[in-house]
């Protein structure tokens, strides 16, 4: 039985479809079921993808009006290839549930995706910039980000005597 069929059977209302990549198998899952599917893939003895290797995104806004959020999973039990799990996130509502409730290691990777692409992870414990400075405007890995955009200048600071402020505005 293919992976998508097993996921559709195990997660009620889940629309999943298989695809293949040069690196191994993949499954496309609707964004509303992503946490249930990721939890199943980690905890169910049939799958046992215990390790979250990465979370990233691809900007398909110009062609498809969406982003793809991509999770790379590995199993400690099987020496098989990594599993790619994708969820489509519409450009007009770039939000998806956070995987930090399953893997604490998703924290930084989701912050990177937020910082670079502007995709919000609902339920994330600390969604703020991680690569760009607080005053940075926009999300530089979006294809719509202007290549010649000027960013606001920030004052030089001594990080010990005058640390960067923590803002919860994101």
Q: Considering the domain boundaries, does residue 113 fall inside one? A: no
Reply yes or no on whether the pLDDT at 169 is more than 50: no
| pTM metric for this prediction | 0.87
Reply yes or no on whether the pLDDT at 153 is more than 80: no
> Which residues constitute the domain of residue 75?
3-94
Give me the DSSP letters along the chain: --HHHHHHHHSTT--EEEEEETTEEEEEEEGGGHHHHHHHHHHSTTT---EEEEEEEEE-HHHHSEEEEEEEEE-SS-----EEEEEEEETTS-EEE-STTT-TTHHHHHHHHHHHH--EEET-TT-S-SSS-TT--S-TTSTTS-TTPPPPP-----TTTSPPPP----
Q: Considering the domain boundaries, does residue 152 fall inside one? A: no
Average pLDDT over residues 32-44: 95
Q: Considering the domain boundaries, does residue 134 fall inside one? A: no
Q: Considering the domain boundaries, does residue 54 fall inside one? A: yes
Q: Considering the domain boundaries, does residue 101 fall inside one? A: no
- The pLDDT mean for the chain works out to 90
Tally of domains within the chain: 1
pLDDT digits (tens, 9 = 90+) for 61-102: 999 999 999 999 999 888 788 999 999 999 999 999 999 999
CATH value at residue 70:
3.30.460.80
Q: Considering the domain boundaries, does residue 151 fall inside one? A: no
Closest to 110 (Cα-Cα) out of 155, 50, 170, 64: 170
Q: Considering the domain boundaries, does residue 164 fall inside one? A: no
Q: Considering the domain boundaries, does residue 86 fall inside one? A: yes
Reply yes or no on whether the pLDDT at 139 is more than 80: yes
């Amino acid at each position: 039985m293919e992976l998508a069929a097993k996921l559709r059977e195990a997660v009620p209302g889940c629309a999943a479809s298989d695809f293949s990549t040069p690196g191994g198998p993949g499954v496309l899952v609707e964004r509303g079921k992503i946490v249930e599917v990721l939890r199943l893939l980690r905890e169910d003895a049939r799958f046992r993808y215990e390790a979250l290797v990465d979370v990233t995104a691809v900007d398909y806004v110009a062609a498809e009006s969406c982003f793809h959020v991509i999770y790379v999973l590995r199993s400690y039990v099987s020496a098989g290839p990594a599993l790619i799990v994708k969820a489509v996130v519409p450009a007009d509502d770039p939000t998806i549930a956070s995987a930090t409730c399953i893997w604490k290691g998703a924290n930084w990777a989701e912050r990177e995706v937020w910082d670079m692409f502007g995709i919000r992870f609902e339920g994330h414990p600390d969604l703020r910039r991680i690569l760009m400075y607080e005053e940075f405007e926009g999300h530089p890995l979006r294809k719509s980000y202007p290549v010649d955009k000027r960013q606001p200048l920030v004052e030089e600071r001594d990080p010990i005597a005058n640390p960067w402020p923590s803002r919860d505005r994101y």
